[in-house]
Chains A and B, each alone.
Chain A
Amino acid sequence: MKRREFLGRAGAVGTMGLAGGLSAPALLSGVGRAYAAGDDIPVGLLFSLTGAVAVVEHTLHDAALMAIEEINAAGGIHGKQLRPIIEDPASDPATYADRARRLMIRDKCVSVFGSYTSSSRQAVLPVAEQRNNLYWYPTLYEGRECSRNVMYGGALANQQQDILIPWLVENYGPRFYMIGNNYVYPKEENNYCKTLLKDLSGEVVHEEYVPMGHSDFSSVLNRIRAEEPDVIFSTLVGDSDVAFARQYHAAELNPEKMPVVSLTRSEIEVKAIGGEAAAGHFSSAPYFMGHESPENEKFVEAYKARYGADAVTHFVNEAAYFQVYQFKNAMEKLDPADVSPPNIRDAAVGMSMKAPQGEILIDENLHTHLWPKVAQWQADGQAKVILQSEERVAPKPYAAYPGQECTGKGLVKT
C-alpha cells in the first residue's frame, strides 16, 4: 500500500468516526460518490398523493410505479431491482423542492420522476441543477425552458397545435374564442396559436382568462353566444374545465357549430364531465386511451388489471409510464460502474422506443419527439382519434420565440 493511499483511507475512516453517520463520508467527499452501488437502484417518485393536484398526480404515480414493477418482474436492470422511494409533496411547490433534495442527497436516487404542474417543476429545477441530478417530467407544458437536468416527456405547443390549428380553420372556420385559466401555460399556448392563426389569416374574436378554480361560466357563455365564434379554444384546467363543459352542455350550445377544442382535457376530465356533455368536442394530444396500437393495448390492459376496471389512462400518465422505460433503456446502455445522472442523460439522448402512442425519440434538447393526434370525444367517454400526424414531430420549446433555440448545449440565441 502506497503512503498516499494509506493516508486517504485513514482520513476516510477518521471522518467516519468523527461524523458518526453512515452516509456522512460520501456526503463530505462530494464528487466521488458512487450511484446505485448497492444491491438495488434507488429511484425517486415525487408525485402529490394529497392536496389539490393529487387528482391527476395520483394517476401519474400509479403509471410510473406500474412501469417500475414491470421492470422488476422482468429481472430489473443489470440484474438489480429498482427500488422506488415514494415521497408525497402534498401539492405544495416548496415541499417539492425539499423532498427532491431529500431524494437526491439522502437517498442518492439516480433519477427522480415527478410533477404535474409547471410551478412544482420550477421548484425542483434548481435542486436538480445544483445536484446535477435528473428529473423526469411527464406533463405537456408551455416550453421556454432548456435545462440540462430535466427530461421532458410531454407535448410542447408546436406538438399540440401544428396539425390542429390548420385543420380547425379549414373545417370549422377562422374565428377563435380563447378561454383559459389565468397562468403561464394558457398564455404561452395562446401566444403560439396566434402566430399560427396569423399565417392562416384567422382571427381571435375574444381572449379571456379566468382565475384558477373559477366555476361559474354564465358570463363567458353569454359572451360566446353573442360573439358566435367558429372554435372555442380552451386551455382551462381541472375543475374549471369540468364546470365549463357541463355549463356549456346545460346552455345547449351546439358542438357541431362551435366545438370546444381543448389542449388540456383528457380522459380524467371527461369522466367527471360525463360522456354526454363532452361528446362532439375535441382534444389535441399525443396519446388517447382509445388509440389503437399493440403497445397501448398492453398498457391499458395492465393498468386496468392493476388499478381497477374504472381506471383511465391519459396523455400525461402515458408519458409517466414510458419515461420509466426510457430511463431503463438508458441505464442498460451504461456500464454499471458508470451510472450517474449526467451519464444516464447522455445515454438517453437519441434513444428511441415504442411507447403506447407510437415510436418516440429523445431529442438532444431533452424534450421528446412525439406523435400528435386530434381526437373527438364520444358519448361513452372515450376519444376517437380523427386526425393523426403523418410524421413524428420534433419538440421546439421556443417555437413562438424566433431567434432562440434549445439545443444539446443549452439555450442558443441566434
Chain B
Amino acid sequence: MDVVFNQVFAGLSFASILLIIALGLAIIYGTMGVINLAHGEFVMLGAYATWALQSFAGIGVVTALPLVFVAVAAVGWIIEKGIVQWLYHRPLDTILATWGIGIILQQAIRMGVGAESKFVRGPDWLSGNIEIGTLVMSNYRIFVIVFSVAVLTGTWLLMTRTEFGMKLRAVIQNRGISECYGIEAKRVYSVTFAYGAGLAGIAGALITPLFSTIPTMGTGLVVDAFLVVIAGGLGSLVGTAAAAMLIGEVTALFSIVINDTLGRIAVLAGIILLIRFRPRGLFPADTRR
C-alpha cells in the first residue's frame, strides 16, 4: 500500500514534465497546423541555456527560468521567421524542415559545446523531501508540479482573457476572415511559435537537475509529448492536461505492476486502442481549417 501513494506521486511528477513539453507542442499545432519535430531540441536548448547561465553567470535553475524562456523563444521566433513561415501551405514539408532544424540544432550544440553530458546543480532550497507517513515526496518534484499547473493556468488565461488570445483564437478558427478584420495572422503565428518554443525551453531548464543534459536528450521526451498531444486531442489545452495526467499515472502504474520496459509497451498499446475508438483524442478542439 505504501508503494501506491509513492507511485501516484511519481506519476504526477512525470505528468507535470510531460505537460509543459506537450503544451508548447499542442499550441503550435493547434494554431498553425505545424507538427514541430524540432520541439525536443527546444527542450534541449533550454537545458543547455540553464547550464550556460549557471556555469558562466552563476544563476540558479529557478532564477534562470524567465531568461531561458526568453532565449529559447527568441530562437523559436527566428526559426519561424526564417524557415517555417514560408512553408505554412505545405504541411508535409514543415515536418521535414523542422526535423532537419532539430538535427542542425543538435549537431550545433555537439560541436559548439561538446557531446559530453553537462552537470547542472539543483537549487539547494528545494533539496530534500517531505515525508508524510510512508509517502516520500521530493521538494524539487513538488515544485515542478506546482510550476506546471501555473504554466497551464497562465496559458489558459493568455488564450481566453487577453486581446492577443482573442486574436489567436480568431486565427485558429478562420485565418482568412480574421485577416479581413485586420488581424495580422503572420504576427500571431510568429508569437505563438515563439511562445511554444519558450515553454519547451522552460521544460528543459526544469529537468536539468534530474536528467542528463546531452544533445540528444530531447528526442526521447518529444515522443512522449507527441503521445500526450495525440491522446489529448490536437490543439486542446484541457485535453493536453488530461492526457499528460493519464499517461503519467498509467506509466507509473504499469511500471510498478509489470516493469518499465513492458509498461512502456502497454502504454503505447493503450494509446493505439484509444485513438482507434476516439480518433481525434480525448477532447478534440472544434476548429475549422
Contact = CB atoms under 8 A, between A and B. Distances in A.
Given A223-B3, A250-B122, A274-B119, A239 B256 contact: no
Given A215-B212, A271-B119, A226 B3 contact: yes
A222 B116 contact: no
A239 B214 contact: yes
B206 interface: no
A213 B220 contact: yes
A210 B261 contact: yes
Of residues A50, A218, A226, A247, which shows the largest number of chain B Cβ atoms within 10 Å of its Cβ?
A218
B213 interface: yes
A215 B122 CA distance: 16
Contacts, number: 111
A52 B261 CA distance: 21
Interface string B102-114: 0000010010000
Given A246-B211, A271-B116, A251 B136 contact: yes
B270 interface: no
6 contacts: A215-B217, A215-B221, A223-B256, A225-B6, A268-B116, A271-B116
Interface stretch (B7-15, B34-42, B63-71): B7-15
A39 to B, nearest CB: 34
Interface in A18-73: 50, 52, 54-55, 58
B259 interface: yes
B210 A222 contact: no
Interface string A213-241: 11110111011011000000000001110
A210 B265 CA distance: 12
A301 to B, nearest CB: 21
Interface string A174-194: 000000001000000000000
A243 B212 contact: yes
B119 A218 contact: no
Nearest to B221: A215
Contact of A239 (B3, B10, B107, B211): B211
A272 B118 contact: yes
Contact of B7 (A52, A211, A219): A219
B119 to A, nearest CB: 5
A327 interface: no
A215 B141 CA distance: 14
A209 interface: yes
Contacts of A338: none
Nearest to A252: B129
Contacts of B211: 215-216, 239, 242-243, 246
Contacts of B136: 225, 251
Main secondary structure of the interface of A (DSSP, over half): helix
B121 A214 contact: no
B218 to A, nearest CB: 11
Contacts of A247: 210
A84 B255 CA distance: 48
B10 A218 contact: yes
Nearest to A219: B255
A251 B115 CA distance: 28
Interface of B: 2-3, 6-7, 9-10, 13-14, 17, 107, 110, 115-119, 121-122, 127-129, 136, 138, 140-141, 209-214, 216-217, 220-221, 252, 255-256, 259-261, 264
B56 to A, nearest CB: 15
Nearest to B140: A250
Given A218-B9, A273-B119, 4 more contacts: A209-B261, A210-B259, A213-B220, A214-B260
Contacts of A271: 116-117, 119
Given A208-B260, A222-B3, A250-B122, A52 B216 contact: yes
Contacts of B217: 215, 239
Contacts of B255: 219-220
Contact of A246 (B118, B210, B220, B256): B210
Contacts of B3: 222-223, 226
5 smallest CB-CB distances across A and B, nearest first, come from A218-B10, A272-B117, A239-B212, A242-B212, A219-B255
B43 to A, nearest CB: 12
Of residues A54, A55, A271, which shows the largest number of chain B Cβ atoms within 10 Å of its Cβ?
A55
A219 B260 contact: yes
A250 B217 CA distance: 20
A55 B114 CA distance: 8
A269 interface: yes
Contacts of A52: 216
Of residues B3, B212, B213, which shows the largest number of chain A Cβ atoms within 10 Å of its Cβ?
B212
B116 A251 contact: no
Of residues A225, A247, A250, A252, which shows the largest number of chain B Cβ atoms within 10 Å of its Cβ?
A250
Of residues B6, B119, B127, B136, which shows the largest number of chain A Cβ atoms within 10 Å of its Cβ?
B119
B124 to A, nearest CB: 11
Interface in A248-270: 250-252, 268-269
B128 A252 contact: yes
Given A222-B10, A239-B212, A50 B110 contact: yes
Contacts of B13: 216, 218
